[in-house]
Structure 1
Amino acid sequence: MTPDPAARLTALYERHHRQVYAYAVSRAGRPLADDVVSETYLVAWRRLADVPAQPLPWLLGVARNVMHERYRDQVRQAGLAAEMARWVRDAEDVADGVTERVATLSALAWLPDRDREILTLTAWHGLTTGQAARVLGCSRATFLVRLHRARKRLEQVLSAASAVPTSTSTRRRVTDEQRVAAAG
């Protein structure tokens, strides 16, 4: 008669728990031993039909594999942590990009609509100069001239804005006349 699986696992645990625990302590240390033993008996429960008549060597082999898997996980995690640390160390400071983006968006807001459209067709929408010229219904040469002029006006607005002191005590707004003059 085949014993109840739960009763069989309980008997297996009661008979070999101390030996499996001692093995786990000797190989993984006391802090991890409880986890190793728990996982070992979880595997034994899942593979109860595979447990041989002499279960101790099999249980110790499972415990050994559990410890090796934990070690591989720790090495993998350490490698990932090191890679992420390199990414953080090598990453650009996003604050610089944010400041530049805000300045560019502010400058674009002061440009005439035709300049904004010309600049964004190529820079943001990714169109070639030929494609952008088709959108505007002009020749490629005409588009390039317009793009050049729009870029110049954008540079002028950015220069006018950067000339304004940024400390809160002396901050002043760029006047509409300065913006109009810069937009040309």
Structure 2
Amino acid sequence: MRRERVEDLYDEYGARVLAFARRRTDPATAEEITVDVFVVAWRRTADVPDVEPLLWLYGVARRLLANAHRAQRRREALLTALKGIRPPATHDVREPGPLLEALAALGKADREVLMLSAWEDLDARQIAAVLGRSEPAVHQRLHRARQRLRAQLERRTPHHCAAAPKEATARD
């Protein structure tokens, strides 16, 4: 019944809601707003009045358009604020170097736990929450992954063994 109701609403009023949105924003956003209007109608079918449902649909579209405009203003303000900030230097991924090569040689689980620790700067408790594991299990995975990474690094750079990651840090 709900599906039929929303399909009927879309068949009867979809083009009018789209035209309403297009008169207020760009075509791509208007299409997104129109889809979202009917998603709201799906979720709140009981709230859609039987008499003049188009007015209710316009009201939903109006609120969604206001939200979209506010989000656009926030994005523009952020871009303006970020213009003067220089992005951090990044490693050239076309030339991965021994560390990234060693990391790539590891299994997916080892890479994941190491990247969460080193790149995302998460401690063992946080990694456990992300992975859905216990904290002791994460400590063990980190220890083993670091050992395997060290072995991979030693194969690639035997004279730079000191570059291998140390055992568990204070964060772990």
TM-score by length of 1: 0.44
More helix by share: 1
Point out the structure with max Rg over C-alpha: 1
TM value normalised by structure 2: 0.47
